Structure 1
Amino acid sequence: MSSTEKYLKPEVIRTVSRLDLRARFIVEGFFNGLHASPYHGFSVEFSEHRRYTQGDDLKDIDWLVFAKTDRYYVKKYQAETNLTGYLVMDLSESMAYTYRQELTKFDYSICLSAALAYLMIHQQDPVGLITFDEKIRHSIPAKSKRTQLGNILALLSKLQPTGQTEISKNLQRIAAMLRHRSLVMIFSDLLADSGPVIDALHMLRHAGHDVILFHIMDEAEVNFPFDGMVDFRDPETGETMLVDAAGIRGDYLDSVGALRENYRKECLSAGVDYVALDTSIPFDRALVEYLSQRKARF
C-alpha cells in the first residue's frame, strides 16, 4: 500500500488532525490508486477532459495526457465541466455513535464531505453546504472559487451532532430552496421512518435534481458484534433497553438488511444513487459514486 492510498482507510485518516489535510489525503490516495483498480481511467475522464471524437479540433488535444495513456483526450470548455453540488449533512445526535471504529458516523461523514468539496473545487465545480437537524441550520451557497473550500471546511470543522432530526421535512425544504439543477449529496444514518424520507427524495428528483444518498452506519450497527446482556440507549430520546444480544441478533440483522434493501430498491425506482456505507469502509467507494454521477451529467 502506498503512502497516499493508506489515507483511504478510516482508521488511518483519524490520525490526521486537520480537516483540510484529511480531505487532501483522501482525494490524493483515491487518484493514486485508480491505475491499480477497476476504476482505471477516472483520473483522466473526470478532470477537465473527454475522449476525442471525429470533428473535434486537433489543437484541443491534450498531448501530455496522450503521452501517459496512448489515448486522445481534448480539454472540455468550462461550461461543459461545471457541475453544481450541495453537500447535505444530518446533524442528529445518533450520528455521534461509534462502537469500536476510530471514526464516528459523523466524523466519517465530515471527512467524506470534505474530500468531495476538495475534489469539486479543484475541478472548478461549484459546491455548497447545507446542514440540518430539526430545521435547516446552515446554508452556504454553491461557488467554485478556491476560497469556497476554506469556507466549507471551516464550517464542517465546527459542526457537532446534537439533538433530534427531521430528515424528510428538511429534504423537502432543500428541494424548495435550490433554484437550479444540482447534484444533492446527502449524508445521514437514516434513523427515521423510511416512507417520508423516500417521498422527499422523489420530491428532489421531481424538482430536477440528481441525488446521491450516502447511508452511513457504524460498523457495529451493520454487523452486530455484541454478546450477553447489553444495555442499548437511543441517543436522541435517551430511552434505554436491556436485551439479550444473542437472542435478537438474527432478527436485528434481518431488519437492517431489509431496511438497506428497501432503500436500494426505492432509490433505484426514483433515480437516486443509494450508497450503503459503514465506518470501516474505505472512502474510495463513495468518491467513485460521485464521479460516476458526474460522468452521467455530461
Structure 2
Amino acid sequence: MSARGYGGDNATPPQENHAVEPGRAASTERGREGAASRPMRAEQYLAPETLGQLAPFELRARMIVEGVMSGMHRSPYQSLAVEFAEHRQYAPGDSIRQIDWKVFARTDKTYVKRYVQETNLDVVVLLDRSSSMRFGTLAVKKGWGGTDASRARGVWTKFDHATAAAAAIAYVCLHQGDRVGLALFDEEVRSQVRRSSQRDQWRSIVGVLSGEPVEGRARIGRSVDQMVARTPNRALFVILSDFLMPLEELRGAIARLVHRGHDAMLVQTLDRQELRFDIDTPALFEDLEGAGGIEADPRAVRATYLDLMRDHVEGVNRIARGFGADAVACDTHESIGPVLAALLDRRMSFAGRRGG
C-alpha cells in the first residue's frame, strides 16, 4: 500500500515525435533556464532529476539517447563499452584469428569480434501501466516534465521511471541491431509495437511510451501469455513493473515463458517511500489498484511493513533465479544507468546460450 495522494489518469494523445533514431547523433534540448550548459556524465543524463525536467516524453527520450551515447564512450558502468563495440571476451576454442588485436593493444585483454548472427536478438519490452504505477514521491519543479499524472502532483512516478528505462533499453538494443518490440499491459496487453529493427522503430516505441497508467490491476499471467503466443522466435523478455502482485501468478507467468524457450529480465520499479516507509504521521493508506484503504499510524506498522516488503522483493528475486532469469531492483529516485548495465550482461548471456 502507499500513502494517499496521486494524480489523475487523463491520457495524453501522441504528439509529433522528434526523438532521435538509433545510429544518429543526439542533439538534445537541454531543459530550461540554460541548466545544461555544463558538461554532464552519462549517469547524470539518466537520472530522474534530469529526465524529470523535460516534457513531452519525446524530449526526455532524446536526453536518454544522449546519456546512452555518452555511456558508450566513457561509461561509469562496466560492460557498456565492450558490449556496444560488439565484442566478447576470448574463450578456449575461439580461433585466434578472431581476436581484435587493436582492442588488446589498448586494454591488454583479449576480445573476439562477434558475428552478426551472434549479436542480433529478438527483444520484447513488457511494461506495466496499471494504476499502482502512478505512485511517486520524488518532487519535480512545477511545470517540468512527467506525464499528466505526475505533473498533477509535481512528482516523478514509477511509470515515469519505467518508461524512461524502457526507452533506454529499446535504444540500446536497436543500436545493437536487435529486433525490438514493446507492449503495455494492465489486465491484458493494451498497446503493442511489433518487433522490428528498422530505423523508424524508435519513433514508434517512443510514441507508445508517451501514454498514461490506467485504472485497473496488472494481470501478469494473462499478459505474458498473450505476448508469448505472439512471439514464435526465442526472445529476451524485459518486464518492467512494481510486481506488487501475487507471487504465484508471477511464478506461473515466468515458468510458461521460459518453457517456451524465452529468456527473462525482471526490472522491479519501486518508489523510495515504498522501500523505506519513511512516514511519521498517521495517514490513510490506499490500495493503488482500488481495493480500499485503511487509517494507520505508520510508526506502529513500519517494522511489519518493511519485513513484508523485503520478503516480497526477495520473492521476486527468488522466482527469477529459479528460472535462470535476472531481477534488477530499480529505485525511482536513482539513475536508470545500472539497469542498462544489467541488461547488457543479460543480453550477452542470452546471445551466448542461443549461439551455443
Shared fold (TM-score greater than 0.5)?
yes
Q: RMSD value over aligned CA atoms?
A: 2.2
Within a 5 Å distance, the mapping from 1:1-298 to structure 2 comes to 3-5=40-42, 6-17=44-55, 18-34=59-75, 36=76, 39=78, 41-51=79-89, 55-57=95-97, 61=100, 63=102, 65-66=103-104, 68-102=106-140, 103-157=156-210, 159-164=211-216, 165-237=218-290, 239-296=292-349, 297-298=351-352
* Contact in 1 for aligned 2:61/2:164 (Cα 8 Å): no
CA drift at 1:70? 4.3
Tell me if the contact between 1:10 and 1:280 (Cα under 8 Å) persists in the aligned partners: yes
Contact 2:287 2:293 in 1 (8 A): yes
Hey, what's the Cα distance between the residues in 1 that align with 2:96 and 2:139?
A: 50
219 and 208 in structure 1: CA distance in 2 versus 1, 3 angstrom threshold: same
Residues 114 and 45 (structure 1), Cα distance of their counterparts in 2 relative to 1, 3 Å cut: closer
Residues 69-89 of structure 1: CA distance to partner in whole angstroms, max 9, x if unpaired? Answer: 344544322111101101101
Letter in 1 for 2:41: T
> Is the contact made by 1:201 and 1:270 (CA closer than 8 Å) also made in structure 2?
yes
- The match for 2:4 is none
Post-superposition CA distance 1:187-225 (Å, at most 9, x none): 111122111111111110111110001111111100111
Deviation at residue 19 of structure 1 after TM alignment: 3.1
How far off is 1:238 after superposition?
A: 6.2
Larger mean Cα displacement after TM superposition, 16-25 or 193-202: 16-25
Contact 1:90 1:133 in 2 (8 A): yes
In structure 1, distance between residues paired with 2:45 and 2:222: 35
Matched residues, number: 292
- Structure 2: gaps of 5 or more residues: 1-37, 141-155
Separation in structure 2 between the aligned mates of residue 51 and residue 279 of structure 1, nearest angstrom: 33
Structure 1: segments with no counterpart, 5+ residues = none
Could you tell me whether the CA contact under 8 Å between 1:8 and 1:29 is conserved in 2?
no
List per-residue Cα deviations over 1:121-170 (Å, max 9, x = no partner): 1111110001111121122221112211111111112x210111212221
- The structure whose residues are more often helix, as a share, is 1
TM-score with structure 2 setting the length: 0.76
Between the aligned partners of 1:254 and 1:55, the Cα distance in structure 2 is 52
